[in-house]
Amino acid sequence: MAGHQHNFDPHACAEFNHLSRRQFMQTSASAGIGLTALAASAPAWLPRVSLASSHRSGMRDVMISLYLRGGIDGMSALVPYGDQYYYSARPTINVPSPTSGAAQRAIDLNGFFGIHPGMANLMPAYNNGHLLFLHATGSTDTSRSHFDAQRSMETARTGDPNAGTGWLGRHLASITPMDPNALLRGVGIATGLQKTLAGAPLTLPIPNLDNFGITGSAGTVIARSAVLDDLYEGTTDPLKTVAFNTLQTIDLLNTINFSGYAPGGGAVYPTTSLGVALKSSAALVKANVGVEAIAIDVTGWDTHNAQGVLTGTFNTIISDLANSMAAFYTDMLSNANNPTFAMVAASEFGRQLNENGSAGTDHGYANMMMVLGNCINGGQVIANWPGLGPGQLFQNRDLNVTIDYRSVLAPIIQNRLGNANLSTVFPNFTPQALNVLRC
């Protein structure tokens, strides 16, 4: 069965999925008695079905992809306070230097870059060497269009507007499952699957992991599910595969008590949609059911107007992002037996160097990235800083790209996600060597 997953066509798996689901139902039934004993000693949020950690092979990280949609102003997050032109271009929209004495000022990282004060809760991860910052990163898409730039970055097939699969989707499709019995390998916390994950087998968009079940009478839900199961067996893909994946995922997620999940290490997640999504993701990852990738959208970054770097919109959402990431980090590293992970936060483009007349910033080019995880070579800023001065900008207005985002992801895909087929994930691309990993 495992070999089946080598198939690159996600729609070809319906028959397999169907069989798998029915086998799962039978397995669950036969395992039911033994699990009662397990449940007595295990935390309540652990799966009640025996998809035990012994199924998990190797030491792969779970990939958490955070997409910062709208184009985050990376220079307000990872602040190049050492570049004099930053402050001249941003007279009213800037984060003061760490040495400025301002009440709200950047937290120094390396004498040139600092982070926004709202990101203070990420400093433990940085100081522990688990959080890496990069700057002047981006893709080869120079359109300054949200939609073009997102599509380009998520599909990693620049110049192909019809690319139907995403880089993370192709990754999952081109390796054997981490857990050969997995019913769900990828999740998009979304109502429509992100292009990043398109093409991934056993992958669904699930807006709320804690609320995924069939409504109506409890007395007939089994019979009605069986009807749906049969109806969709008779139809074509993609709905056929989606329906089977959905039915088996309902069963799978029902074995995990998300609402009762207790984070480790005293981690406190924000009650925002991002905080909830990451908390549920931690519960799902720790449940060891074979999920290998989770994609989460973080929105609100298209700050053309009243950006509010220190006291408004940007401050609110950058703090939420940092606090949510920090809670996930604390939670996942609270126990050495927890699965390992790699989390990447990226955005379609950065914003123009000069602020506009609306106390905001328009679309630009290069941006910062954040990478967090057990084996990330953190505690540093990787940048080949092109400068913000005259003659140094892209098209005389934007921070230029000096690190392709794929070079950041490539070593993670190869060494932490166990995929030797980098050319499948990133066609026609040779990554630049970067010190992204320490193990």
243 phi and psi, to 5 degrees?
Answer: -65, -45
In contact, 297 and 205? CB cutoff 8 Å: no
Q: Measured from the CB atom, is 58 or 219 closer to other proteins? A: 219
Q: Report 14-73 residues binding other proteins (CB under 8 A).
A: 22, 25-26, 28-29, 32, 69-70
Q: Report 411-430 residues binding other proteins (CB under 8 A).
A: none
**214's tokens:** 């069939």
Instruction: Determine, following the binding rule CB under 8 A, whether residue 362 of this chain makes contact with other proteins.
Output: yes
**Helix, coil or strand: residue 13:** helix
Interface size with other proteins, residues (CB under 8 A):
74
Instruction: Determine, following the binding rule CB under 8 A, whether residue 173 of this chain makes contact with other proteins.
Output: no
In angstroms, give the least distance from the CB of 416 to other proteins.
26
Choosing from 45, 87, 107, 251, the residue that interacts with other proteins (CB under 8 A) is 251
Lay out the site mask for other proteins across 299-318 (x = CB under 8 A, - = otherwise): x--x-xx-------------
Residues 6+ apart with CB under 8 A from 7: 13, 173, 201
**366's tokens:** 């290069």
**199's tokens:** 């093409």
Choosing from 363, 370, 381, 410, the residue that interacts with other proteins (CB under 8 A) is 363
Q: Distance between CA atoms of 407 and 429, rounded to whole angstroms?
A: 9
In angstroms, give the least distance from the CB of 232 to other proteins.
6
**342's tokens:** 């790699």
Residue matched to tokens 């779970």: 62
Q: Report 395-414 residues binding other proteins (CB under 8 A).
A: 395, 397
Instruction: Determine, following the binding rule CB under 8 A, whether residue 204 of this chain makes contact with other proteins.
Output: yes
Q: Measured from the CB atom, is 113 or 394 closer to other proteins? A: 394
Choosing from 118, 188, 275, 350, the residue that interacts with other proteins (CB under 8 A) is 188
Q: Measured from the CB atom, is 28 or 104 closer to other proteins? A: 28
Lay out the site mask for other proteins across 206-235 (x = CB under 8 A, - = otherwise): xxx--xxxxxxxx-xxxxxxxxx-xxxxxx
Q: Distance between CA atoms of 7 and 439, rounded to whole angstroms?
A: 30
In angstroms, give the least distance from the CB of 39 to other proteins.
11
In contact, 384 and 136? CB cutoff 8 Å: yes
**Which stretch, 33-41, 324-332, 353-361, 399-407, contacts other proteins (CB under 8 A)?**
353-361
Q: Measured from the CB atom, is 243 or 333 closer to other proteins? A: 243
In contact, 101 and 369? CB cutoff 8 Å: no
Q: Report 259-298 residues binding other proteins (CB under 8 A).
A: none
Q: Distance between CA atoms of 286 and 326, rounded to whole angstroms?
A: 17
Residue matched to tokens 């003061």: 96
SS in 3 state form for 310-346? CCCHHHHHHHHHHHHHHHHHHHHCCCCCCCCEEEEEE
Q: Phi-psi region for residue 203, left (φ > 0), alpha (ψ -120 to 50) or beta?
A: beta
Choosing from 129, 164, 260, 312, the residue that interacts with other proteins (CB under 8 A) is 164
Q: Report 75-114 residues binding other proteins (CB under 8 A).
A: none
Q: Measured from the CB atom, is 227 or 262 closer to other proteins? A: 227
**Closest listed residue to residue 154, CA positions, set 397, 349, 357, 303:** 349
In contact, 355 and 87? CB cutoff 8 Å: no
Q: Measured from the CB atom, is 156 or 242 closer to other proteins? A: 242
